[in-house]
Structure 1
Amino acid sequence: MSALQERSEKPYVASAVAGIAAYLLGYLVTYVWQASHVREMLRGINAVLQFFGGDAIPAWKAVGWLFYNAHFVAFTHPTLGGGSVARNWIASGDAPTLLYIVPVGCLFVAGAAVAHHAGAEDPQTGATHGASVTLGYVFLALVGVFLFTATRGDYTIAPDLVTGVLLAGVVYPAVVGGVGGAIAGVLGED
C-alpha cells in the first residue's frame, strides 16, 4: 500500500487532530502572551469578589474569554443594574489587536498541513481537506464555552454560546482552514 493510500484511509482522524491542535496552540499562545495583562485587568474585580468572600476569577478562564474575543466572539457579564452586557476586550482596545491573527495563523497552518498530509494536488481538494479541521476545532470550541465560564453567586461571565460554537467553532476553521488547504493544494500541483 502506498503512503498516499494510507494517508487517505483515515483523513478525518488527521483533520480532527489538527483542529484540536490548532485550538490548543491558539489558546496557549494567547495565554503565554496575555496572562499577566489579564491578571492585571482582573485585579480590581477579584479584590471585590474576595472581599465579599467569593472566589477570585482565575486568569486561565479570562484568557479563554480573550481567546474567543480573537474570533470576534464576545463574552457576557452582569451589569450593576441587572441584566448583562457583551464585551470584547480586543475590539474595545483593552488587548492588542494582533490577537486577531492568533486563531487565523493556527487554523491556516492546520488546514495547510491536513491538505498536504492528504496529498491534495489542486486547490479544490486542498480546500476541502483544509476545512475539515473544523471536526476537532468545533468540539473544543463548544467545550471551551463551558470551561471558560465563571460563576460567582448569581452572576455568570462566559463566552457567548451561539457565536462561540458557530463563529469560532465552525466558520473560522472552515474558512481559514479551507484557505490554508487551498494554498497547499496549489503548491502540491505538479
Structure 2
Amino acid sequence: MPVTHLPLRRSASVGAVVYAVGYAVTVAATAGRTGAVAAIEIAGETADAAPLGEILGSDPASWIASGWLFYNAHLVPTSVPIADAVNGLGGLTNQSLLATLGGPLYALYLLPPLLLVAAGYAVVRTAETPGSNGARNAGASVVAGYFPLLLLGAFVFTAGAAEAQTVASPAGLSSVFLGLAYPLVFGGIGGMVADKRTSASSPAGEVADA
C-alpha cells in the first residue's frame, strides 16, 4: 500500500489523541502515588541504596512521576541516578518503577495496547484502505501521531539529581524502539480487526474491499 494511500492526517490526529488519553488515564490512576515513587530504593555502586526522592533532592512533580509510569507501561524503563549521586557521583540505572510499585497498577500495562488497538480500529473504520495489507498499514499509521509525542515526552518527563549532573527520565533508546513498536504492532492489529469485522458484516455475495 503506497504511503500516499495512507490516511496520515486522520491517523496522526488519532495517534496524538490516544497518547494524550493514555497519559491522562495514567495521571488519574497514579494520583497520590508520587510519595511511593519517591520512596523506591535505588541501588548504588559504592553507596548504600537510597530513596529516589533523596537522590533527586525532593519528590518528583506528580505529572513527571505519572509520565515515568506511563512510559513504564510501554515497557520503557526509567533511567534514574544511582544512589552514589547523593555524594556527587554520576551514573544511571534503568528501573521499571511501575513494576516496583506493582499491585493494581499492573493494569496500566494493558493501557497502551488497548488504546492503540482501538486507535487502529477507528482509523480503518473511517477511511479507505486499498490493497491486500491496506487495513493493517492504515491501522499502524497511528505511529505518525503517537511516536513524535512519546519521543518528546522522553525529554519532558525529567528530574535532575540534587548533587550530581544526572537526570531521571524515560530511557532514550527504549523510548525510540518501543515508541515505534507499540503503535506499529497494536495499531496494525486494530486495523486488521476492523477489516475482519467489515468483511464479516458485508452482505452475502458481496466482496468486501481488500
Task: Specify the TM-score bucket, using the shorter chain as the normaliser.
Answer: 0.7 to 0.9
1:16-69: CA deviation from partner (whole Å, max 9, x where unpaired): 0011011111111111011212344326654x479xxx5642010011110010
Residue 118 (structure 1) aligned to one of 94, 113, 127:
127
- Answer yes or no: is the 8 Å Cα contact 2:15–2:144 preserved in 1: yes
Root-mean-square deviation over aligned CA pairs:
2.4
Give the structure-2-normalised TM-score.
0.76
The amino acid across from 1:25 in the alignment is: V
- Answer yes or no: is the 8 Å Cα contact 1:76–1:87 preserved in 2: yes
1:59 equivalent in structure 2: 62
What count of residue pairs does the alignment treat as equivalent?
Answer: 178
Unaligned residue ranges in structure 2 (runs of 5+): 40-50, 203-210
**C-alpha distance in structure 1 between counterparts of 2:190 and 2:132, whole Å:** 10
Higher helix share: 1
**C-alpha distance in structure 2 between counterparts of 1:173 and 1:85, whole Å:** 26
1:161 equivalent in structure 2: 172
Q: Based on CA coordinates, which of the two structures has the bigger radius of gyration?
A: 2
Runs of 4+ in 1 over 6 A off after TM superposition: none
**C-alpha distance in structure 2 between counterparts of 1:122 and 1:97, whole Å:** 38
Relative distance call for 1:29 and 1:122 in structure 2 (3 A) is: farther
**C-alpha distance in structure 2 between counterparts of 1:49 and 1:160, whole Å:** 18
Deviation at 1:12, TM superposition (A): 0.6
Relative distance call for 1:123 and 1:149 in structure 2 (3 A) is: farther
Identical counterparts, % of pairs? 33
The amino acid across from 2:8 in the alignment is: Y
Give the structure-1-normalised TM-score.
0.83
Deviation at 1:120, TM superposition (A): 4.0
Relative distance call for 1:148 and 1:110 in structure 2 (3 A) is: same
